[in-house]
């Protein structure tokens, strides 16, 4: 039952990662060419696109949050892991699942903070002068990213717990 569910969840998760990867590659290509073009234009022709710098900064923000979301899926977040090596194998999954569920909770609070911040910005309707877009749309990736991290931490936490209870590493 659980194994079947895990398969379905993994499939959805992998599909989402594929979409995320697609956007990362797309954004990187834009970043590579646009930023290089800017340098060439400035050095040789002393001109440049006024919107380019603003666009690049927001692309980095988007790429960063998508990357952080993938890092959550793959358990690749930066951490300081000193003690967990010393845990006995039997109880290690339980410990890890507690940390993952806690991480999910904190990410959810950060998601809520992100929502209220974007809402505030939407009320002010501040615009990016160069990109001619409302700022709140450019910020949307922050709540989206934290929500996705929250869900992924939660899913990983549940499966970790299951592994601990059934000794699932035998799979």
Partner 1 sequence: MTLIVVVLLVLFLLFGAPLFIVVGSAALYSFKFGAGLEPAIIVQEIYKLASAPVFVALPLFTFAGYILAESRAPQRLVNISNALVGWLPGGFGIVAIVASSIFTALTGASGVTIIALGGLLLPALLSAKYPEDFSLGLVTTAGSLGILFPPSLPVIIYGLVSGVSVDKLFVAGLIPGILVIVILSSYSIYISFIKGIKSEAVSFKDFLKALREIIWEAPLPFLIVIGIYTGLFTINEAAAVTAFYVFVVEVFIIRDIHLKKIPNIAKESMTMIGSIIVILGVALGFANFLVDQQVPMMIMNFLKKFFHSKYSFLLALNIFLLIVGCTMDIFSATMVVVPLIAPIGNYFGVDPVHLGIIFLVNLSIGYITPPVGTSLFIASFRFNEPVIKLYIVSIPWLLLLLLSLLIITYYPDLSLFLLKYIQVR
**Near partner 1 by CB under 8 A, which window of 4-12, 49-57, 123-131, 157-165?**
49-57
Question: In terms of CB distance, is 6 or 138 closer to partner 1?
Answer: 138
Which of 32, 91, 129, 165 contacts partner 1 by CB under 8 A? 32
Question: In terms of CB distance, is 5 or 26 closer to partner 1?
Answer: 26
C-alpha–C-alpha distance, residues 138 and 127, integer Å = 10
Of 55, 47, 69, the residue nearest 27 (C-alpha): 55
Say how many C-beta atoms besides its own lie within 10 A of residue 152's C-beta. Answer: 24
In what helix (H) or strand (E) does residue 133 lie, and over which residues does it extend?
A: strand 133-134
Q: How far is CA 87 from the centre of its chain?
A: 29
Torsion angles phi and psi, residue 44, rounded to 5: -95, -45
| Length reported for the chain | 171
For residue 19, state whether it binds partner 1 (rule: CB under 8 A): no
For residue 107, state whether it binds partner 1 (rule: CB under 8 A): yes
Torsion angles phi and psi, residue 133, rounded to 5: -130, 145
Find the binding residues for partner 1 in span 109-138 (CB under 8 A).
109-110, 112-114, 116-118, 120
Summarize as ranges the residues that interact with partner 1 (CB under 8 A).
Answer: 21, 24-25, 28, 31-33, 35-36, 38-39, 42-43, 53, 56-58, 60-61, 63-71, 74, 76-84, 87, 95-96, 99, 102-103, 106-107, 109-110, 112-114, 116-118, 120, 139, 142-143, 145
């Amino acid at each position: 039952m659980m194994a079947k569910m895990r398969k379905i969840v993994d499939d959805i998760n992998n599909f989402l990662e594929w979409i995320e990867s697609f956007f990362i590659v797309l954004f990187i290509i834009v970043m590579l060419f646009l930023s290089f073009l800017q340098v060439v234009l400035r050095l040789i022709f002393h001109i440049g696109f006024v919107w380019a710098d603003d666009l690049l900064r927001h692309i980095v923000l988007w790429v960063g949050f998508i990357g952080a979301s993938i890092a959550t899926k793959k358990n690749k977040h930066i951490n300081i892991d000193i003690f967990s090596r010393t845990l006995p194998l039997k109880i290690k999954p339980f410990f890890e699942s507690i940390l993952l569920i806690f991480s999910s909770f904190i990410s959810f609070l950060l998601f809520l903070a992100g929502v209220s911040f974007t809402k505030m910005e939407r009320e002010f309707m501040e615009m990016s002068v160069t990109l001619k877009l409302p700022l709140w749309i450019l910020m949307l990736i922050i709540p989206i990213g934290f929500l996705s991290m929250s869900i992924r931490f939660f899913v990983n936490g549940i499966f970790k717990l299951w592994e601990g209870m059934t000794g699932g590493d035998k799979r």
